[in-house]
Amino acid sequence: MSKILKITGLEKTYSSGNKQLTVLHDISFDVEQGQTFSIVGPSGSGKTTLLGLCAGLDQPNSGTVELCGQNLNILNEDQRAQLRNKEVGFIFQNFQLLPTLTALENVSVPLELQGAKNATSKSKSLLEKVGLGDRMHHYPSQLSGGEQQRVALARAFANSPSILFADEPTGNLDDETGEKVIQLLLELNKENGTTLVIITHDLELANRTQHILKLKGGKIVTNQPTPSREASQRNK
């Protein structure tokens, strides 16, 4: 298997005023192409910071991120944005849909901006896939949280990313809706071969991915294939 994400010796320090706070220390790990991979750890352990570095949204103080074979350190901001548009999808805990666009537009507009053909028909079929065929013309405020997260899911998959980063994708949803979103995520992952990197507090969800990385105080404490046999079978 080839490595879609290769992290070596990452360190991240925030400075506020004259204080320096190192929130990630010497982080190294790899994610294989097509893998489902969880990042877990207590609040404040550095998970979101790490995700931002992996996706090239932010830059480390030292260390390297290789995403889809490209060393992000030697790309400029525009080049990193281009790589993200082409290869990366995101799902955030608070959905981050644009309130003035309908569900359909939230999915299709980013595609159109990238010059994609058939943006509307592709978006429609993705929304149907996540069970929102009859909600396409609703605005985010007219949708439930679970429905909004499913729009975000459709949007994340619209550019057929090779890797999808999800930060607490079920954090704001009830158990049942969260379960639906997880199933969709894993299903889309299987169908498209999309690599999935999920930050979660939910150990049950983590156990359903193939690999778990645990952070504590900005350091890796566990980096191993998921012990549960169920997970490896489910993901075969």
Contact residues toward ligand ATP (CB under 6 A) are 14, 16, 21, 23, 41, 43-49
Binding-site partner at residue 45 among ligand ATP, Mg ion, none, CB < 5 to 8 Å by type = ligand ATP
15 or 141, CB closer to ligand ATP?
15
Q: Which contacts (CB < 8 Å, 24+ apart) does range 134-138 have?
A: 135/103, 136/102, 136/103, 136/104, 137/102, 137/103, 137/104, 138/102, 138/103
45 or 194, CB closer to ligand ATP?
45
Find out whether 29 and 213 touch, Cβ atoms under 8 Å.
Answer: yes
Residue 46 beta carbon to ligand ATP: minimum distance, rounded to whole angstroms: 4
Strand ranges, E, within 58-100: 62-67, 70-71, 88-91
Residue 227 beta carbon to ligand ATP: minimum distance, rounded to whole angstroms: 22
Find out whether 194 and 162 touch, Cβ atoms under 8 Å.
Answer: yes
Binding-site partner at residue 178 among ligand ATP, Mg ion, none, CB < 5 to 8 Å by type = none
Show the site string, 35-54: x = touches Mg ion by CB under 5 A, - = not.
Answer: -------------x------
60 or 110, CB closer to ligand ATP?
60
Give the other-Cβ count within 10 Å of 74's Cβ: 8
Give residues in contact with Mg ion (CB under 5 A): 48
